[in-house]
Each structure stands twice: as C-alpha cells, then as structure tokens.
C-alpha cells in the first residue's frame, strides 16, 4: 500500500503522509483543519526560533499551542546555538509534543543567518547541535534538510549519515538546494541515494502535487513516507486523495460544493478560535482555496475588499449562492463533512 505506515520509535504515523511545516500557514487552526479532512498521519508546527523560545516571546508561545486533536504532532525548531537549541528541545518535550524536528532546510536569508539551510555549510557545528539535542530529550528527534547549499555542495547523504550516527531517528529531504529556493525540479534521485545510504527512515518531499506524484516518488526513491508542503494550501484534500488512491487506485476531485464547504469551514474556525489577524489569514488563504473555483478571481477580489471576518463569510455565501444566508453565516467548529470521497 502506498505509504501505509511509518513507525518512528513509539510514534505511529498512519498513513505515512506528513504535513510539512510552513511559515505563516501551519498554525493550530490549519493543522486541525487538515486533520479533520482526513488522510494526514503527522502534522508539524511552523518553525519556531530557539532564541524566541528561550526569551519566551509571544510569537513563540503562540506557535507552540496545540490541542489533543492534532496528535501525533511534531514541533520544528531552528537556530544555530547548540545549547539554546538543546534547551528549546527540552521545552518542546515538557510541553508534551510527540516529536521534535530541527529545520535544516529553510532558504530564507533571515533564517540562513542563524540556522536553517545555512547549517549545511558547517557540518562540525551541525554535529555538535545534533548531539546536544539528542542528549537533551527522550522523545523522537528528526530533521528536515535541503540537498545542500548549491549544486557544487550537495551534502544530503553526508548529513544523513551524520544524523544517524548522532541518534536522529528520521530525516526528511527536500532535494533542492538553498540557492534553488523553490525553482527548477526537485532531484528525487538524491532522495534515493540517501535512502540506500542510511538505515533510519527517509521522508521524501518536493514536487508532489497529486496522488500519482506520490506513487511516482515512492517508486523512484523507495522513501518511507511523503511530506506535503505547497500542495496542501491549494488542495487540502490531497492527503485523503492519496489514501483513497492507495486503497482503490482512484481518487475524486473536489466539486464546487466541496470548495464552498472548505472555505466556510476554515473561515468559521478562524472566527471561532478568535485567531489573531483572522481577516489577514482569510485574505491570504483566499488565493489558494479559490484555486479551481469558477470565476474565482471575482471571489478573491470580494474577500480582499472585505473589512471584517463576518463580511468575508457573508461574501463567500453570496458568491456561492447560499440558500439560507443567515444560517450559513453562523460560525461552527464541526468537522468538515465534504462529500469528496
């Protein structure tokens, strides 16, 4: 079965479909939203600065909030100070997270200066960091990496072996370099090379936009799980589509009714949770959630010009021609009941 299950010590990930950590996207509302749609075996927080955690700033505390509904859940940290990263990992364990993950993949300049994919250029420092984090926690410890800094500095296999020797229990690989950013094609052959070089689980990430892509990834790399990033905001159904494809060889595309319910459920959750900056989130996600909606540009313009979250909901209802506008506009937190599958 396609990515049926992955066991990372005592953490069972079934199916072995993982929501990638994405800055500004994978907050607690979006994570629960994905879980309710089904088919996602593990979710991850947005990456969290170890320095911010040590200082206990408000943003870090908000990133660390989760509910029992989200389990199993991994918290991802970044930084470059071994002691501070070890302290941050201990905080994550004390907060009850199931796993802790170290970000070695972010290509953003402000992150590279203090960790992220920048650590791929300093393997002695990375070795010290991995060993200190491993000694500091008893929960499973994983990492997520890029293939290297540039095409001339591909270090995926080297880092994977270093990680395995340091007690890291799984590694996710996005096989683009830091200099590539998100351009060009992901080099899946590097996932395959890494998979055969270590005994720990290897998680494939990059250019998986549909269930057939996931099947292709598994066939070409032999990886143990698939991690979905950029495809999730525009197609949150992708996880359960992969699950259906694994069982039956088929999957359904969302209907207009599915898309309407998706938008309403997510927006209603933002309001119900009193999410800071809810209207900003609504406008941010409008460009993704309206993908595939007929006349979606009209809906996006309507959402962007709204002045309040309640106005956004009303305009969504108007756009889709809701029969009972008053009733549909009332927020609720019931699980999504989209008839997609």
Active site residues: 106
Cis-peptide into 72, omega within 30 deg: yes
Residue pair 18/172 in contact by the 8 Å Cβ criterion: yes
Token output for 283 = 């406008």
Of 109, 98, 94, 108, which is closest to residue 76 (Cα–Cα)?
98
Report the DSSP pairing between strands 48-49 and 17-19: unpaired
Measured CA to CA, the distance from residue 336 to residue 34 in angstroms comes to 9
Residue pair 162/190 in contact by the 8 Å Cβ criterion: no
Q: Within 137-273, where are the H helices?
A: 156-165, 188-195, 211-221, 231-234, 238-248, 256-272
């Amino acid at each position: 079965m396609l990515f049926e299950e992955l066991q990372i010590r005592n953490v069972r990930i079934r199916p072995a479909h993982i929501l990638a950590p994405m800055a500004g996207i994978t907050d607690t509302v979006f994570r629960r939203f994905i879980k309710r749609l089904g088919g996602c075996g593990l979710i991850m927080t947005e990456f969290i600065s170890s320095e911010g955690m040590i200082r206990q700033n408000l943003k870090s505390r908000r990133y660390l909030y989760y509910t029992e509904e989200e389990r199993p859940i991994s918290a991802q940290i970044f930084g470059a100070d071994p002691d501070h990263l070890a302290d941050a990992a201990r905080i994550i364990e004390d907060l009850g997270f199931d796993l802790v993950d170290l970000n070695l993949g972010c290509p953003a300049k402000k992150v590279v200066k203090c960790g992220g994919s920048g650590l791929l250029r300093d393997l002695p420092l990375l070795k010290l960091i991995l060993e200190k984090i491993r000694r500091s926690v008893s929960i499973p410890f994983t990492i997520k990496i890029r293939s290297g800094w540039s095409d001339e500095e591909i270090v995926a296999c080297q880092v994977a072996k270093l990680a395995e020797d340091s007690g890291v229990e799984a590694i996710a690989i996005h096989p683009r370099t830091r200099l590539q950013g998100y351009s060009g094609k992901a080099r899946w052959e590097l996932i395959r090379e890494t998979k055969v070089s270590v005994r720990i689980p290897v998680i494939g990430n990059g250019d998986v936009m549909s269930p057939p892509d996931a099947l292709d990834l598994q066939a070409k790399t032999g990886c143990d799980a698939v991690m979905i990033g950029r495809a999730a905001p525009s197609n949150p159904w992708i996880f359960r589509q992969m699950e259906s494809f694994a069982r039956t060889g088929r999957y359904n595309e969302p209907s207009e009714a599915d898309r309407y319910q998706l938008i309403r459920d997510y927006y209603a959750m933002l309001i119900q949770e009193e999410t800071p900056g809810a209207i900003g989130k609504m406008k941010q996600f409008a460009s993704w959630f309206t993908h595939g909606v007929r006349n979606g540009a009209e809906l996006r313009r309507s959402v962007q010009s709204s002045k309040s979250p309640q106005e956004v909901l009303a305009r969504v209802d108007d756009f889709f021609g809701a029969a009972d506008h008053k009733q549909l506009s009332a927020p609720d937190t019931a699980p999504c009941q989209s008839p997609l599958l």
